[in-house]
Structure 1
Amino acid sequence: MTDISVVIPTYNRLWALPQAVESCRCAGAKVEIVVVDDGSTDGTWDWLQTQRDIVAIRTDNWGKDWAVETALRTARGEFVRFLDSDDWLCRDANARQLALARESAVDLIVAGYEDYDDKSGTRKVNAWEDCDDFIAQQLGEGWSSHYSAFLFRRNLIEGIPHRQDFALRDDRLFVLEVAMRKPRLAVYREPAFVHRRHAGERLQRTTGFKRDLGYWTHISIYRKTLGLLEQRGELTPRRKRAAIGMLWPNVRSFARAYPNEAAEVVDWIRGLDPDFVPPVRPALAFAYKMLGFAMTERLLAFRALPQ
C-alpha cells in the first residue's frame, strides 16, 4: 500500500522541478510522486519520461486547480501532500510526519516551514504556532502556516476540491474547508517544507486587475466560509474577530480601485460585529464616520493623503 501521495502541479518550471521531486524521495515511507505537467513547453514532459518512480500526467494548460484534481483521481496514498514545483520538502519530512500520524491516529499533521530567498540565500524558519481553535486560526487568529507543510489523511479531504472559482486563493479555501471538518490533528515541531521566494511568476504575486481580483477572491472566500459557519451555529465571536482582522487589510487594498464594492463589504463586517472599530488613525476613522467609507477611500486615492 502507498503511504503518501505527493501531488505536484507544474508549468514551465523545469529549472526547479527536479529539486522538488528529489525532496519527496525518502526512506521510511512508500511515497508516490504524482506530477501533472500542465502543458509545459520547456522540456518538462521529456524530463519526466526519464524518471521511473514518478507518476507523470500530461494535461492541456487549464491551470493549477484542474491539474491537482487530475492528480487526485490517480493518487493512491493513504495520506496526501500538495507541493508547488518551485518549493521542496525538508529532509525526511514525509517519513517523520507519517510516523507521527500513525502514532497519534490523527487525520492531519500540521507544521511550520522555512522561507528561502533565492537572491540573498537567506533562510527564515516559520515555526508552528499553537492555537486551541483550528478554525479561528485558519480564519486569521495568529499565524496559520502553509498547507504544503501539512500531511492530510486521504479520507479527510475526500470531496474537498481545489475550486477553480477561487483559483487565486484556492489553497486558503481548501484548508478552511478542511478545518470545518474538525479534523483530529497533531503538530510536527520541525519545518516540513521550504517555500522558495524568487523572481519568477507565482500565483500569489499579481498586479493590476489580477491583484484586485485576488483581494476580491479572498473576501469572497471569507464571506462564504463565515456564512457556512453561521448556518451550522458555529460562528463564534472569536471566529468573527479572527476573520475581520484578516479581511480588513484586503478590503482597504481592494477599495483603492473599487471603493463602492469595498464599502458594501465594510457594511457586512459591521453587521457581523456592530462594535467593530477600524484599526486606523483617529482622523481617518472620523472621516469614515462623516464622509462614509467609499468617499474617504476615493479622497485617499486621489489626494494621496497619509494613511
Structure 2
Amino acid sequence: MIDISIIIPTFNRAQFLGAAIDSALAQGDGIEVIVVDDGSTDDTPALLASYGDRIRVVRQSNAGPSAARNRGAEQARGDYLFFLDSDDLIEPGAVHRLLAAAQAMESGQAPIGRASIMDEAGMSSTGVAYGYPHLQPGHQLSLADLLTGVMPLCLPLLQREQFLAAGGLDPELRLGEDHELAIRLHHAGLRFVATDVPVIRVRVHGEPRLSGEGDHAFARQLLQVWRRIAGLVRDFPDFDRRAREALARVIWVAGRDAARAKDREAADAMFDIAREFDPGVERISPWPLRLASRMLGPFRAERCVDAVKRLRLV
C-alpha cells in the first residue's frame, strides 16, 4: 500500500540527484519515489537507470519545474504528495512524521514542516530562512501569516486530490509558483498548520540562480508572480488590514530586489502595488533609505544606496 508519493523533478542535476533519491528511498515503507526527468542532457538518465525498479521514472521534454511536478502528481499512486527538489535532502523519517500529523488533524488542514540549510557539500550552514520557522507548532496559518513569507512546496504534505483539484502548479510561473499555489489552496479552504517536524535540508550551491545583478528576467518574474498573487487575494474574505500590510511589505521588498537588478519598470510597478495596499509601507525601510526615497523616489534611492555600498567595498 502506497501512502505517500515523493516527487522529484530534475533537470541536469546528476551531481546531486543520487543523494536526493537515496534520502527519499530511506523514508521506508508505504512510499513511492517518482523522478520526473525534465529533459536532462547530462548523466541523469544513466543515474536513474542504476536504481532499477526501486523508483519510477517519467521523462518529458523540458517544460520547467511546475510542469514536471504536475506530471509527477498525475502519475502518483499515493494519497499524499511530498515534493523534493533534486538538490535537496529529506530528513530521516520526515514524511511519516508528517503523515501522522496529517492524520491527527481536522479535515481541510495540511501540516508543514521545517527546513534547514546546507552547503554544496551537504554540511549544515546558515542562510535565508525557508517557510515559517517563527510559528509555534499547532498554529494554523491565516492569510496574513501566509503572505508574510513564501510557502516552499518542500514543506507541506498535500493530499493528492487537493493538489489536483486546485489545478496544480501554473507552468507559466518560473518563480514563486509554489507560493501562488499555496494562496489558491488557502482560498479553496485548505489551512496549513505549523509543526516542529524537520523535513528538508535545502542545498545552497554554486549553480546559476535566478537572481543576480542586472538580471531583468528575474525582476520580471518577481513582478509576474506578485501581480498574480495580488490579483488573487483582493477579493478574499480574509484579506483584512493585517493581510494587506503583509502583502505590501513583501511586494515592497520584491521591488527593492528589482531595483538592485536595475529594472526600473518592474521595480516601480511593484512599489506602486505595495503602496496601493499600504500607503505607509516605506516605513519598513531603514531611515536613511526612507529619507532618500522621499527625495529621489524608491528606485533611485535604492540605486544610490547600492552605489554607496560598492564604494565602501573598494
TM-score by length of 2: 0.83
Distance 1:259 1:186, change over 3 A: closer
Matched with 2:87 is 86
CA distance in 2, matches of 1:286, 1:187: 38
Q: Which of 106, 115, 118 is the matching residue for 2:117? A: 115
Unaligned runs of 5+ in 2: none
110-119 or 273-282: bigger deviation:
273-282
Q: Which of 217, 221, 224 is the matching residue for 2:228? A: 224
Matched with 2:77 is 76
What secondary structure sits across from 1:277 in the alignment?
helix
- 2:273 matches 1:265: no
Deviation at 1:240, TM superposition (A): 1.3
Distance 1:138 1:184, change over 3 A: closer
Deviation at 1:101, TM superposition (A): 1.4
Match runs of 1:15-30 below 5 Å: 15-26=15-26, 29-30=29-30
Unaligned runs of 5+ in 1: none
Q: Which of 234, 241, 244 is the matching residue for 1:240? A: 244
Quick one: percent identity of the two aligned structures?
Answer: 25
Q: In the alignment, is the contact (CA less than 8 A) between 1:48 and 1:56 conserved in 2?
A: yes
Matched with 2:49 is 49
Deviation at 1:184, TM superposition (A): 4.0
CA distance in 1, matches of 2:98, 2:8: 18
- 2:146 matches 1:150: no
Deviation at 1:306, TM superposition (A): 8.6
* CA offsets 1:52-79 (integer angstroms, 9 cap, x no match): 1211111122222222222122112100
Deviation at 1:31, TM superposition (A): 0.8
Matched with 1:289 is 294
Match runs of 1:45-194 below 5 Å: 45-50=45-50, 51-106=52-107, 107-119=109-121, 121-123=123-125, 127=133, 129-130=135-136, 131-140=139-148, 146-158=152-164, 159-194=166-201
Deviation at 1:253, TM superposition (A): 2.4
How big is the alpha-carbon RMSD for the aligned residues of Structure 1 and Structure 2? Answer: 3.0
33-42 or 257-266: bigger deviation:
257-266
Deviation at 1:145, TM superposition (A): 6.0
287-296 or 111-120: bigger deviation:
287-296
Amino acid at match of 1:138: L
What secondary structure sits across from 2:234 in the alignment?
helix
Q: In the alignment, is the contact (CA less than 8 A) between 1:37 and 1:56 conserved in 2?
A: yes
Distance 1:25 1:227, change over 3 A: same
Deviation at 1:87, TM superposition (A): 0.8
CA distance in 2, matches of 1:120, 1:18: 13
Deviation at 1:287, TM superposition (A): 4.0
Amino acid at match of 2:257: S
* CA offsets 1:84-135 (integer angstroms, 9 cap, x no match): 1111111111222112212324441111022112358234597462355432
Distance 1:120 1:112, change over 3 A: closer
Q: In the alignment, is the contact (CA less than 8 A) between 2:248 and 2:275 conserved in 1?
A: no
Amino acid at match of 1:44: T
Deviation at 1:46, TM superposition (A): 2.6
Amino acid at match of 1:273: D
Q: What is the aligned residue count?
A: 302
TM-score by length of 1: 0.84
Distance 1:200 1:273, change over 3 A: closer
Deviation at 1:156, TM superposition (A): 1.8
* CA offsets 1:130-183 (integer angstroms, 9 cap, x no match): 35543222211xx56632122111122123322222112222222222233332
CA distance in 2, matches of 1:183, 1:119: 37
Q: In the alignment, is the contact (CA less than 8 A) between 2:9 and 2:85 conserved in 1?
A: yes
Distance 1:27 1:7, change over 3 A: closer
Q: In the alignment, is the contact (CA less than 8 A) between 1:160 and 1:177 conserved in 2?
A: no
Q: In the alignment, is the contact (CA less than 8 A) between 1:38 and 1:62 conserved in 2?
A: yes
Q: In the alignment, is the contact (CA less than 8 A) between 1:259 and 1:297 conserved in 2?
A: no
Distance 1:87 1:96, change over 3 A: same
CA distance in 1, matches of 2:151, 2:236: 26
Amino acid at match of 1:150: P
CA distance in 2, matches of 1:303, 1:21: 45
* CA offsets 1:171-221 (integer angstroms, 9 cap, x no match): 2222222233332444431211111122234xx543355x43333323332
- 2:198 matches 1:197: no
